[in-house]
Chains A and B, each alone.
Chain A
């Protein structure tokens, strides 16, 4: 990388160069949480004009992931019903993984020489479950004011904040999501007080002393936006803009226009918020838009067209079923609950059939939690939505429903090349369930992350306990 060429004499980014770089290299570095790139040329160059002080550039990936997989054994899960996450099912199947990667999946004829064989007869295997919408760490338990770190509710647009700077890795919720929910990857989002809430961060669900130790290597950043009641209530309640839905849109559009100007301005000073917005315009940062009402989602999709960005997923989207056709045509996923409704006006029309009706329209469905409770039961939430659809006569195979909480989530988070399904070469993020994962009576028995056994219901020593819980009543208890 020729970092110096992108710095002007004040150590500031030159917009045109930045844009060119972003389009060519962004996937490799700019918008990812990948490992740190090499040291900056700026500090070692012989250029007399080199600035005395220079921050790392965005392309250098500050706050890089330090995660590396834990040791694992070559493992063969034999005899299980396998849902591969991509819509496939194998009965009496075999899953092989070693060195952190899935090696193969297949029938009972797959050779298991060299693998520790686990008899999984009567059990089920899925990819690690993925929650696209969590606030673990940024609204950590205990839910005291001191842990309220999800909403920088001091301005309607705070694209400059990054959720990872709020995540407390000692949140006990991570361990519950692992043990009861089989969660292996999750996206931590800022809250929805603001129209533009800031960057999300995607994590591997591994206990760590630092958030960098949890960051999913190579995952793109997400960008949290919110429409509807929350921003207008929070700011309107303070007697300032936005106080209406039209105010929400005006504020958003003006901010996008500012971002476009910034992107076109070679001499602009570095601006953290604008860098995130430009990342969205470049397509490197994925928009996750909290939005409930159908009509409002349609408006947001037109705003995205007007400004030249894409919405990757609407979150909550309780009325998505009313516009499944539009969502399909625009290629926007709906990340939804199975059955939440009624708690606010824009959630009044929530119905159990939302997911099924979207699937019927060919639109992308992801089941999400937005809850430290439901993240432990995404499989059950998906099963509820499946049953509701089946009562309507909509065909929803178990394997397709599992994809709602695995590969579809991975796609909408931009990590589907690495995880989300059991395919050779992908990360060995695997859950062994003690029964059908779409049944209320089943629980994860073992969970592997990158091939390392991180939870075992049968072995107390494979149960993570956060710092906060040490010495407290119930330390190390089944939870």
Chain B
């Protein structure tokens, strides 16, 4: 009997991922809108044609819909939005053939494009979908040069087209990482960066003459023609530039880049010492994607690291998203957010309210990614990404019970869930485990 059930379950898993959205209403829920507000008891979420049409307190209306779910008081939230990730770009970190995160041997850097290589069948996408992440920014990482390449915004639904927006942002490493990649000094990284942007400006016809020369260190191409072309939307401000930087003085230097390149649409990634220059970041109107829990001087560029970094930046008026790399993998984002709530009870620390913390893993990263009010939030017109949870979503023990992306209910199965089912017991009295599936 058990085996028959198992077969049925796997058959369902194979045909999961229906192509069409269905209209639904979730009622009697503890609803977190994701916009920074505190949760709403006895809330309602209505999704039609793949979009949210209503989310908030129960207003006593009746609904015309395909499916009504009584949440029984359970938590309901928008899907989490993870940034910056490498989801869909690798299978096993240490298996280089399966790992497209870095292209250190490539002659290309800024020209690299994540969009065509995202694999929606990656186990990490399945695992993270089951953890409530429905959208993500994903990108190759800086490796051959200071430029990482062009990241994509993806959804984690089960269809064959994960890319929502290709070439959504460029990323560059300055600070220690950029120094290492550009020959050993921050000074070199800055020259390379400015040279690259000047070349892009020239190619765009915005000033100067294109030199089209390569910049090469030994066999390593630091900047080629294709990279310079890829930087045109950066220098014109059409494509956001994510700058990986941590040290307070490096942050100031990055903010000053707009003196020379005024149209740069920058986002700081890391900003481990951001709290020391929070007022300057706020004044510049530059958003930040920051690790939540870093509190050690892992390097000389984060001597001032503290878990209060995000809270202090927020209090200074900086828009801050909790980085998906705050834990060992992006599914730990809620844990990171919960820890920042915990800080609110520690004297001297700068903690977050629950609403602020949840927004920092939903609506804020969505807004930074170009989806303000459209994702990571339960508001009329937003994508119908709705997650039901078995507990407070920021608690470490909580997991989603149902996940909808664009109004489509998703499978929560993965390699991990299949292993879990196989090894619920170790009974091999009739056949080896290989037949238990």
Contact = CB atoms under 8 A, between A and B. Distances in A.
A342 B346 contact: no
A477 B93 contact: no
Contact of A342 (B92, B305, B341, B349): B92
For the complex, would chain A's binding face be called helix, strand, loop or mixed by DSSP majority? loop
B428 to A, nearest CB: 10
Contacts of B335: 377, 380, 384, 440
Contacts of A351: 416, 419-420, 423
A390 B390 CA distance: 12
Interface string A196-223: 0000000000000000000000000000
Interface residues of B, number: 56
A322 B423 contact: yes
A337 B306 CA distance: 24
Given A343-B93, A478-B306, A386 B397 contact: yes
B267 to A, nearest CB: 23
The 8 residue pairs across chains A and B that have the minimum distance between CB atoms: A387-B397, A440-B338, A474-B304, A344-B94, A473-B304, A479-B295, A343-B93, A478-B349
A442 B342 contact: yes
Interface in A424-479: 434, 438-443, 457-458, 460, 468-469, 472-474, 477-479
Contacts of A71: none
Interface string B283-316: 0000000000111111110011111100000000
B248 interface: yes
A321 B346 contact: no
Contact of B299 (A142, A343, A344, A372): A142
B420 A392 contact: yes
B48 interface: no
Interface in A386-417: 386-388, 390-392
A142 B298 contact: yes
Nearest to B401: A391
B60 interface: no
Contacts of A434: 345
Nearest to B417: A351
Contact of A479 (B127, B306, B345): B306
Given A325-B426, A478-B346, A478-B349, A342 B295 contact: no
Given A342-B123, A380-B396, A180 B295 contact: yes
B297 A468 contact: yes
Interface string B388-407: 00110011111100000000
24 contacts: A172-B297, A180-B295, A342-B93, A342-B329, A349-B415, A352-B416, A373-B293, A376-B293, A377-B339, A380-B339, A383-B396, A391-B399, A392-B420, A440-B335, A440-B341, A457-B347, A460-B348, A469-B297, A473-B248, A473-B303, A473-B304, A478-B308, A479-B295, A479-B305
Contacts of B160: none
Contact of B298 (A141, A390, A441): A141
Contacts of B295: 176, 180, 376, 479
A341 interface: yes
A44 interface: no
Contact of A457 (B93, B346, B415): B346
Given A141-B297, A340-B328, A443 B399 contact: no
B103 interface: no
Interface in A213-244: 229
Given A343-B93, A477-B304, A478-B308, A439 B395 contact: yes
B276 interface: yes
Contact of A383 (B306, B329, B397): B397
Interface in A320-356: 321-325, 337, 339-345, 348-353
Nearest to A390: B397
A404 to B, nearest CB: 14
A357 interface: yes
A24 to B, nearest CB: 41
A196 to B, nearest CB: 22
A155 interface: no
Contacts of A142: 297-300, 303
Given A351-B419, A351-B420, A377-B335, 10 more contacts: A172-B296, A341-B127, A377-B293, A388-B397, A441-B342, A457-B347, A469-B297, A474-B305, A479-B295, A479-B307
Given A343-B94, A474-B305, A387 B342 contact: no
A388 B424 CA distance: 12
Given A342-B123, A352-B416, A173 B426 contact: no
Contacts of A468: 297
A143 interface: yes
